[in-house]
Amino acid sequence: MLGIIGGTGLAEPNQFGWGALERQENVETPFGVGCTTSVSVEHWHAGSEKVLFLPRHGFKHSLPPHRINYRANIWALKHLGVTQIIAVNAVGGITSTLKPGTFVVPDQLIDYTSDREMTFFDGLSENVNHVDFTEPYTESLRALILRAARDVNSKNDRPVSIVSKGCYACTQGPRLETVAEIARLAADGCDIVGMTGMPEASLAREAELDYACFAFVVNLAAGVGSGSIKFQEVYEEVNKCRTFIAETLGRCVA
Ligand code: HPA
């Protein structure tokens, strides 16, 4: 079963036009130091398929990136029978060709976060466990998203730009970055920057779930454009991208 983790601007899949909401469920999880242990998940029917939806910032968009209980979210989806996760992430564009409105399915990431609960293997089990993370995203799921996005695009009057590779930088937030920080990320080889891609991706790997990221650029990262980043413009961009995201996800489910 497919699970979708929605980010900024995507807390309400009823805007997706996907079919029927069966129920919302609060799942109790074993995780929660300084944050709630329960996770709200929606059960949806899309065509003949069932799909679960989890808004990572909560249904009221109240959790900042560093307060999201990533372990509880991944644990809850696995517990409910999810085997594949598509994560939707709003990002800033570092590479200057990645302008607002561009969709990116990254193939690599660099984790710049700190102080997040980032593993299920925290010494409480008998063995020390390590997971391979050479390729952080599941290739077959990346291919599914790209196919779906291109299908939707082929029927679009105004096709969007879809980029099939890229390196996602995950910063700690909740503040945005400085010009110097973005220059450093660019020198490190990062193409896009967000605050919520990790430890979500590595926890999914630890939980043996397929995982891929569908990122959409909502602003030029600090110093890539001119002047400061305007949140009004970011939210306008999120709104513009919503239909394409919804249609692509709908096609991934069907
Ligand atoms: N930086 C970090 N996270 C983001 C950005 C950004 O510029 N835009 C959207 N999420």
Query: Domain range for residue 116?
Result: 2-253
Percent composition of the chain: helix, strand, coil (DSSP 3-state, to 5): 30, 25, 45
> What is the rounded CA–CA span in Å between residue 153 and residue 162?
9
Q: What is the pLDDT of residue 128?
A: 72
Question: Is the CB of 177 inside a 6 Å radius of any atom of ligand 1?
Answer: yes
Per-residue pLDDT, averaged over 191-204, amounts to 98
pLDDT digit string (tens) for 136-151? 999 999 999 999 999 9
Q: Rounded to two decimals, what is the model's pTM? A: 0.95
Q: Report the separation in Å between the CA atom of 169 and the middle of ligand 1, taken as the mean of its atom positions.
A: 10
pLDDT of 8 higher than 90: no
Per-residue pLDDT, averaged over 182-191, amounts to 98
Q: What is the pLDDT of residue 39?
A: 86
Question: Is the CB of 195 inside a 6 Å radius of any atom of ligand 1?
Answer: yes
CA dihedral angle for residue 104, residue 110, residue 114, residue 120, rounded to 10 degrees? 90
Q: Whose CA is nearest to atom 5 of ligand 1?
A: 92
Per-residue pLDDT, averaged over 38-60, amounts to 86
Q: What is the CATH number of the domain that holds 27?
A: 3.40.50.1580
Looking up tokens 């998203």 gives 145
- Number of domains the chain contains: 1
Of 196, 236, 250, 228, nearest in space to 88 by CA: 196
pLDDT digit string (tens) for 95-126? 999 999 999 999 999 999 999 999 999 876 66
Q: What is the pLDDT of residue 244?
A: 93
Q: Report the separation in Å between the CA atom of 90 and the middle of ligand 1, taken as the mean of its atom positions.
A: 7
Q: What is the pLDDT of residue 124?
A: 65
Per-residue pLDDT, averaged over 211-239, amounts to 95
Q: Tokens representing 129?
A: 């466990």
Q: Whose CA is nearest to atom 4 of ligand 1?
A: 194
pLDDT of 35 higher than 70: no
Comparing 49 with 183, which gets the higher pLDDT? 183
Mutation probe of ligand 1 site: the residue of 177, 178, 181, 200 with most atoms within 8 A of C-beta: 177
Q: Which amino acid is at 146?
A: L
Q: What is the pLDDT of residue 253?
A: 85
